[in-house]
């Protein structure tokens, strides 16, 4: 009995060590991703400081309420994902919450596509100016992250539907990635939509 107890005690640290390594790898990826965006933000702010009047003039063409709408959409979806993680931890069905988060992700992409259509029809493209180059690059990269995050949420939702739920580690990682997507949009909205008028 004692020998068996010691065997179990020796195994527990190994499991924790593997989980810690996995979590470290995930958060390392999140940190690297955020670092790339941070470099873009620094470059944007540097250019803004050098061409303030040009950036203000170009930023005036953005439809701020669309950017705000998308910020509210992502904040709401993040709340739903938090609730879904709580349900997953409790062993209850989180499909409805994940489904609504996915619907909001689709709404975000729809609003963003409409905003792109407005800007392009007004003659604003990637090559129009320095401001619009940053606008399309930053929001385009972010939209790509929304699609990746949506794929993670969809995988989670399918697991719930099939009766073979994903591991808590996967649910937690998908949620962490989605919160990063939300945070990045808040920063883009703050710098590009609002800060460019300063």
Residue 1 has pLDDT above 50, yes or no: no
pLDDT tens for 103-148 read: 999 999 999 999 999 999 999 999 999 999 999 999 999 999 999 9
Report the alpha-carbon distance of residue 173 to residue 23 in Å, rounded: 8
153: nearest Cα among 100, 92, 109: 100
User: What pTM was computed for the model?
Assistant: 0.85
Grade residue 198 by pLDDT with cuts at 50, 70 and 90.
low
Task: Count Cα neighbours of 124 within 13 Å in the Cβ-side half-sphere.
Answer: 21
**CB atoms closer than 10 angstroms to residue 16:** 10
- In the chain the domains, ranked by start, together with CATH numbers, are 30-193 (1.20.120.80)
Residue 97 has pLDDT above 60, yes or no: yes
Which ranges constitute the DSSP H helices of the chain?
2-50, 52-59, 64-90, 95-121, 130-162, 168-188
Residues 68 and 131: their CA atoms lie apart, in Å, by 19
d(CA 125, CA 74): 25
């Amino acid at each position: 009995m004692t020998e068996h107890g010691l065997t179990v005690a020796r195994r527990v640290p190994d499991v924790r060590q593997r989980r810690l390594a996995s979590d470290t790898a995930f958060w390392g990826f999140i940190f690297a991703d955020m670092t790339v965006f941070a470099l873009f933000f620094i470059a944007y702010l540097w250019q803004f400081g050098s061409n303030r009047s040009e950036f203000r003039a170009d930023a005036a063409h953005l439809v701020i309420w669309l950017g705000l709408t998308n910020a509210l959409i992502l904040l709401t979806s993040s709340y739903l994902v938090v609730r879904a993680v709580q349900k997953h931890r409790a062993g209850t069905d989180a499909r409805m919450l994940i489904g609504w988060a996915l619907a909001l992700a689709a709404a975000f992409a729809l609003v963003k596509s409409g905003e792109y259509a407005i800007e392009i029809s007004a003659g604003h493209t990637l090559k129009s100016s320095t401001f619009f180059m940053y606008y399309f690059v930053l929001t385009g990269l972010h939209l790509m992250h929304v699609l990746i995050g949506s794929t993670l949420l969809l995988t989670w939702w399918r697991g719930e539907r099939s009766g073979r739920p994903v591991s808590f580690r996967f649910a937690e990682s998908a949620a962490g990635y989605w919160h990063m997507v939300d945070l990045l949009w808040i920063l883009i909205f703050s710098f590009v939509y609002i800060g460019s008028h300063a």
